[in-house]
Amino acid sequence: MKILVIEDDADTASFITRGLTEQGHVVDRAENGRDGLFHAAGGAYDVMIVDRMLPGLDGLGVVKTVRAAGVQTPVLFLTTMSGVGDRVDGFEAGGDDYLIKPFAFAELLARVSALGRRPPLTQVETVLHAADLEMDLISRKVRRGEQEIDLQPREFRLLEYLLRNAGRVVTRTMLLENVWEFHFDPRTNIVETHVSRLRSKIDKGFTPELIETVRGSGYLLRAATP
pLDDT, tens digit, for every residue of 138-182?
888 999 999 999 999 999 999 999 998 999 999 999 999 889 988
Closest by Cα among 158, 143, 168, 221 to 195: 158
In a domain, 100, yes or no: yes
Q: Is residue 132 part of a domain?
A: yes
- Where does a domain end: 81, 116, 151? 116
What's 45's domain CATH number? 3.40.50.2300
Provide the pairing of β-strand 169-170 with 26-30.
unpaired
Note the pLDDT of residue 178: 86
Structural domain of 88: 2-116
Same domain, 163 and 189: yes
Say yes or no: 163 and 196 in one domain. Answer: yes
pLDDT of residue 62: 92
Q: Is residue 190 part of a domain?
A: yes
Q: Which residues 6+ apart lie within 8 Å of 152 measured at CB? A: none
Tens of pLDDT, residue by residue over 187-204, are 889 999 999 999 999 999
**86 and 175 share one domain:** no
The domain tally of the chain equals: 2
pLDDT the model gives residue 116: 87
Is residue 138 domain-shared with residue 44, that is, in the same domain?
A: no
Q: Give the Cα separation of 177 and 44 in Å (integer).
A: 32
- 138 inside domain: yes
Q: Which residues of the chain fall short of a pLDDT of 50?
A: 122
Q: Does residue 108 fall inside a structural domain?
A: yes
- In this structure, the answer to whether residues 104 and 143 fall within a common structural domain is no
136 lies in the same domain as 46:
no
30 and 85 part of one domain? yes
Return the amino acid letter for 213: T
Look at residue 98 and tell me if it is in a domain.
yes
Nearest to 154 by CA among 184, 185, 197, 186: 197
Residue 30 resides in a domain: yes
Residues 148 and 111 occupy one common structural domain: no
CATH number at residue 161: 1.10.10.10
Residues 141 and 50 in one domain: no
Burial label, 136 (beta-carbon count in 10 A; 0-12, 13-18, 19+): middle
214: burial class by Cβ within 10 Å (0-12, 13-18, 19+)?
Answer: exposed
- Boundary residue ending a domain (116, 144, 160): 116
Domain assignment present for 121: no
